[in-house]
A and B are shown apart, each in its own frame.
Chain A
Amino acid sequence: MTPAEMDPEMNDQAPDPTAGGVPPVDSELKAKALAALRTVEHEPGAAKPDPILTADHVHRQFGGLVAVDVEHVQVQRGSITALIGPNGAGKTTFFNLLTGFDRPDKGDWRFNEKSLRKVRAHQIAHLGMVRTFQLTKALSRLTVIENMRLGATGQSGENVFKAILPFLWRGQEQEITDRADEILAYFKLDTKREDFAGSLSGGQRKLLEMARALMVQPEMVMLDEPMAGVNPALKQSLLGHVKALRDRGMTVLFVEHDMDMVRDVADWVVVMAQGQIIAEGPPLAVMADDRVIDAYLGAHHDTDLSAMDVHELDMEEAAELATHPREEHER
């Protein structure tokens, strides 16, 4: 554990920013999101009153393995939605498909009613959607502040011809730096400003990645396992930051294994298993759902297998294989 992580200040809930780099908190947004979701059915593919992201028939196959086969799913604007599921359920693959880092075999998905089917990964940030990665991607040999500056979109100095004429971009660079400093201060990374990102601890890198994503000024933030590899002391701080994203008007979709985190921050939970959406609902309802328990623990989780009839098990297995002819999805 690094000193910064032991610093009790880091464990605070996200503090109130005084600056324009981070949008202001609207404490009613959480209540609004929950109210909107109250009317939604607890069924896979349930329609939301105001979806920011909608996916239809998204299908991705690797050889004979169907990794993702999502019929229909919507994400409510202004909510925190968790995407959970057992290992190999296709969560990260689905995430990569939604953010343009992988291409589906078929299907369509829309962000703010704009189809993303033909949109490339780097264009998605310009539409207002930004993602982070399961394995944190801090740019090691760039300083923290340079990492932040890189996040800003629409920089004229990123054009190679304008780059050699500093007077064309210096003003914008100053604005970007001011905004970056505000966000860094908010994430309490301002003391690390001039350090190489590679010298930060795992948790600090997660924070930096989230802070850098905010430089894009996104409408929707996609977090791939934000808690992976973060020590418990920093977890509370990160949780606070995730909630704060929603309270500042952003929509959050995150993949997570940590059920405590899901219960704590998610307004809505979508469960994937074997590439499909098998359940949806508020955290507590979903965790009590039989389909979810089956998917995580197997249908026989509370039976002693040795006490069961082997023949019966074989029959069940055969029946299951017949009802899920996975290889025949495509052909």
Chain B
Amino acid sequence: MDWGLIGSNALEAAIGADMIIYCLAAIGLNVHFGYAGLLNFGQAAFVAVAAYGLATMVATFGLSFWLGISVGLVAVIVLAVLLGVPTLRLRADYLAIVTLAAAEIVRLTFRSVTLRDTFGGSDGLQGFARGFYALSPYTTGIDFGPISFSARQSWSITVGWVLIILASLLVWMLMRSPWGRVLKGIREDEDAVRSLGKNVYSYKLQALLIGGLIGALAGFMYALAQAAVQPDFTSPDFTFFAYTILILGGAARVLGPVLGAAIFWGLLSLSDGLLRGAQNEYAIPEWLLGSTDVGAVRFMLVGAALMLLMIFRPQGILGDRKELALDAR
């Protein structure tokens, strides 16, 4: 078994494009769920709308890269307002139902046959990332110890990490302010906060918008890192993986999503490498583990690891056990 290769692959996965996309989506979810207590089960919709906003403007309508980014952001704001205005006055579960449904509506719209000329149907769109890579200062790739990325990868990973740092910084600054205090108060009990003179509805809408816009960054990174968008990337699984990452790292912790995403993708790559290595080395019989099963089994292993974590550290890696124990009262 090539331990070195398995290790460096895992390390690359822990900081690579997939990790960045899910990390940004989870940072947005952290604002929604971790701090404001909003059950957004449709983070995938924000990601998809931003990614397609960019891709459609550039690939279908031939407009510029920056115009695509702007359209993506505006589309996300419109989506947040559309979802939030009717549901945020109601109980928390309504937002969960509406966002879950909205994410599926968005995905099915993008893959619909009728709109194939605009959104590219189930094949999606490509050929819109040239403007982005034209900005790249990299002429050669990064080669640092066990990690190596191509020049293109290096550029998208650099931008992605800058976005992660900026988004985390924004969340950190907001959540230590009186604004963040109101948000955390709403998570605990919105009637109490209302009785103290805060416009709860407005704060929830603001939180939905900010978390959605951070989700939009995930959408842009998805579109640009792959230089292609497909509608099925943003299936409901996407949102649930983002929740997994958030809870794994620790909700309502600024660095929870970053750590969670790194561990999630690192573990996924590690178990993939180990399973394939074991298959080659020890000739695992086909009936036990076929070569096509590895992709699924690694998720089972990661799932088992998560279950152990939830049993022994239910507050997530960065969470505070004392805080979690309060819920049981």
Contact = CB atoms under 8 A, between A and B. Distances in A.
Interface of A: 99, 101, 120-126, 130-133, 137-142, 146, 149-151, 153, 155, 157-160, 162-164, 166, 169, 173, 196, 198-199, 209, 212-213, 215-216
B14 to A, nearest CB: 29
A225 to B, nearest CB: 15
A155 B178 contact: yes
A163 B174 CA distance: 6
A159 B177 CA distance: 9
A159 B196 contact: no
A216 B197 contact: yes
A137 B181 contact: no
B177 A164 contact: yes
A216 B196 contact: yes
A125 B188 contact: no
Contacts of A169: 177-178
Which bracket fits the contact residues of B? 20 to 34
Contacts of A209: 192
18 contacts: A99-B195, A122-B194, A126-B197, A130-B196, A137-B195, A139-B192, A140-B329, A141-B323, A146-B184, A153-B196, A160-B210, A163-B180, A164-B173, A166-B177, A169-B178, A196-B323, A213-B196, A216-B197
Nearest to B180: A163
Chain B interface mostly helix, strand, loop or mixed? helix
B191 A158 contact: no
Contacts of B329: 140, 198
A291 B108 CA distance: 66
Nearest to B190: A137
A330 B72 CA distance: 51
Contacts of A160: 174, 179, 206, 210
Nearest to B252: A141
A99 B184 CA distance: 23
Contact of A173 (B178, B192, B327): B178
A123 B197 contact: yes
A209 B198 CA distance: 16
Given A101-B191, A199-B326, 14 more contacts: A99-B195, A120-B199, A122-B195, A123-B197, A130-B196, A131-B195, A139-B188, A139-B192, A149-B178, A150-B198, A157-B177, A158-B178, A173-B178, A216-B196
